[in-house]
Amino acid sequence: MTDYIARHALDGNLFIPKMFQGFPEIKEALISNRVQAGFLVAPMAIALRSQGVPIKVVYLGHRYGSAVVVQKDGPVHSVADLRGRTIAIPSRFSDERLIMLRALEKNGIAPSEVKMVEMSPADVAGALAAKAIDAFSMGEPFPSQAEMSGFGRVLFQAREYWPDYMSCVLVVRQDVIDGRPEAVQTLVDGIARSGLWLEKGKPYREYAAEFVGRYYFNQPPALLKWALTRPLDRVMYAPLSPRKRDFDLVRDLMIESGLLDKKLAFEDYVDVRFAEHSQIKTAWKFEPGTE
Amino acid sequence: MKRISFWLLLWTAAISGLHAWLNVSWAEVLNDRLPTERRKLNVAYIPVT
């Protein structure tokens, strides 16, 4: 996704990718118009819209790819063991918090029986290794980082408690949607095609891990290879069109957990036109290792 | 005194030049000065999959 954005920055003068270390910073940048589009966790996008911030969700970044990780040799072997423990989440307004609440509820644990702390995604693996936290609920590649380094163990993948789980969504400022719809369509088309390309198989994912790790994420390619291929459906890049039922579930869970005080209509925070127009797109015609 | 001032000025200029070269994204600075319709869109991401 990021590579696609960067290529257009170089060739088509359309986008400049800007890396941030946390979702709250992206939120502030969107509000202040320092960035015009960005990947946010879905509940944060809905909350911002409900607060009147002029943005809309136009596409998803990926599906699945979040997990709850505990200390490898620690005492937590089931969700029930999390009672009384400290769990790191990326933000109060994150799917990772909602999935945690869902798992706790299914296991008869009240939210007040665990301590959830907000932490920047990049810090959670270190915090788990240092035993500053007992678990974290986070998107890839941080669960893979803890697993690969030998101090973390996946307690459960998000999809075990939420079959159609989604996390990062692409949001765009309303003034850009209104004034430059062709640029938004180009962005959505590119993400759709990149997603289909990644879904072509393991060599494609391994190749993506190499260049994204080196040139964009500043992370070891081996770590991204782990996250993208163990197993291949650990993170999925299709289908990425925003579906009403998925967002209704997020919205309802937000209301249940006190993050939202009113039932926002799907159309108020999602613009499906760009996803609908990108349906016919095919994967990039590019074979790994040919460039 | 003159000699010290000269080297101090030179040092400050060198550090400022290095800072401007290494830490300022000139592509973004120039982009922000373009008319809205010609401006590149800044797209935010964090290093998660």
pLDDT score at A5: 52
- Is B40 a domain residue? yes
Nearest to A71 by CA among A62, A81, A61, A60: A81
CB contact under 8 A, B40 and A13: yes
Supply φ then ψ for residue A193, to 5 degrees.
Answer: -70, -40
- Is B9 a domain residue? no
When divided into structural domains, chain B yields a total of 1
CA distance A262 to chain B (A): 28
Low-confidence ranges of chain A (pLDDT < 50): 9-11
Nearest to A86 by CA among A130, A122, A42: A130
Domain that holds residue B49: 24-49
C-alpha Rg value of chain A to the nearest Å: 19
Q: Is the pTM of this model over 0.90?
A: no
**Candidates B37, B40, B45; nearest CB to A2:** B45
- Which SS3 state, helix, strand or coil, does residue A233 take? helix
pLDDT score at B49: 60
Rounded to 5°, the CA angle B17-B19-B21 comes to 70
pLDDT score at A10: 43
A135 bridge partner residues:
A70, A87
**Candidates A22, A65, A187; nearest CB to B49:** A65
Supply φ then ψ for residue A41, to 5 degrees.
Answer: -70, 140
Query: Tokens at residue B23, please?
Result: 């830490």
pLDDT score at A11: 47
ipTM over 0.90: no
CB contact under 8 A, B40 and A142: no
Q: Which helix (H) or strand (E) holds A67?
A: strand A66-71
- CA of A16: which chain B residue's CA is closest? B42
pLDDT digits (tens, 9 = 90+) for A14-38: 888 888 988 889 999 999 999 999 9
Q: Which helix (H) or strand (E) holds B27?
A: helix B26-32
A13 bridge partner residues:
none
Domain A64-160 coded CATH 3.40.190.10:
yes
- Is B12 a domain residue? no
- Is B47 a domain residue? yes
CA distance A120 to chain B (A): 10
Q: Selecting from 3.40.50.10860, 3.40.190.10, 3.30.420.40, 3.50.50.60, what CATH number does the domain A2-59+168-199+237-277 have?
A: 3.40.190.10
CA distance B25 to chain A (A): 11
Question: Checking DSSP bridges between strand A235-236 and strand A37-41, what pairing results, if any?
Answer: unpaired
- Is B16 a domain residue? no
| Domain pair A2-59+168-199+237-277 / A64-160, same fold | yes
CB–CB of A54/A175 below 8 Å? yes
Span between the terminal Cα atoms of chain A, in Å: 17
What residue type is assigned to position A27 of the chain? K
Q: What share of chain B is helix, strand, coil (3-state, %, to 5)?
A: 65, 10, 25
Q: Report the alpha-carbon distance of residue A49 to residue B31 in Å, rounded.
A: 27
Q: Which residue has tokens 């423990």?
A: A85
Q: Is A255 exposed, middle or buried (0-12, 13-18, 19+ CB in 10 A)?
A: middle
**Candidates B27, B43, B49; nearest CB to A35:** B43
pLDDT score at A290: 63
CB contact under 8 A, A228 and B49: yes
Q: Is A123 exposed, middle or buried (0-12, 13-18, 19+ CB in 10 A)?
A: middle
- Domain ranges for chain A, please list them: 2-59+168-199+237-277, 64-160
CA distance B14 to chain A (A): 28
CB contact under 8 A, A180 and B41: yes
- Is B1 a domain residue? no
CA distance B16 to chain A (A): 24
- Is B35 a domain residue? yes
pLDDT digits (tens, 9 = 90+) for B15-29: 999 999 999 988 888
Q: Which residues of chain B are within 8 Å of residue A18 when distances are taken between CB atoms?
A: 28, 42-45
CB contact under 8 A, A26 and B27: no
Residues of chain B in Cβ contact (below 8 Å) with chain A: 27-28, 31, 36-37, 40-49
The CB-side HSE value for A137 (13 A sphere, CA atoms) comes to: 32
CB contact under 8 A, B44 and A21: no
Q: Mention every residue, 6+ apart, whose C-beta is less than 8 A from residue B8.
A: none
CB contact under 8 A, B47 and A183: no
CB contact under 8 A, A35 and B49: no
